[in-house]
A = this chain, B = another copy of it.
């Protein structure tokens, strides 16, 4: 891991860009150290997601958490994959035509992404956890929910996860969901037209965790209420401190 940029905010939070091999990432650390780490999931495209990710990271830092994110495979400045582009094009064509989305398209879109992204997030953990500013258990917060589910199952260093419900969940993910045992908080935007509400409820039902909480709110896809940032901090404070 190589740090490529650095800035400190008024609130004492240090933001550093880094690269992990070819993968760009960002690390935010609070003034208080060592801090438990929260991995910030997102749908890909760090540059466009930056304002929201930085806001989430600084909100978490106010509660004493470090936060880190990496670019997704085939997104942002990373090399494209023709098969991923094809799957995305097929999805968008089906959505535009108002057709039902075939499981086969979802599998072709999401499964390779999860297979590639999960080991990258784990490699990021390998690189981040030895830093003196980082210490304690790790959380995962955000979408892509299929990546969060995979990590919750395969990565024992992740102790709690805040998952953003989304559509396009491969059928095999339900089997994985049953294997999840860590505490979960699942965010669902109730009136998000681009979201399959019933699928999100079914997935919540499938999780094997003894402690799982669903927070459903109004406000559309990007309208998660500000108070959920506080609720996220309290969820992680219960499980990472």
Contacts and interface: CB of A to CB of B under 8 A. Distances in A.
Copies of this chain: 2
A125 interface: no
A183 to B, nearest CB: 10
Contacts of A234: 227, 230-231
Interface string A209-225: 11111111110000001
A222 to B, nearest CB: 16
Interface string A193-222: 000000001001100011111111110000
Interface in A134-186: none
Interface residues of A, number: 20
A238 B230 CA distance: 12
A187 B215 CA distance: 10
Nearest to A188: B214
Given A209-B218, A212-B217, A214-B215, 10 more contacts: A190-B204, A190-B214, A201-B201, A204-B216, A212-B218, A213-B215, A213-B225, A214-B216, A216-B216, A227-B238
Interface of A: 190, 201, 204-205, 209-218, 225, 227, 230-231, 234, 238
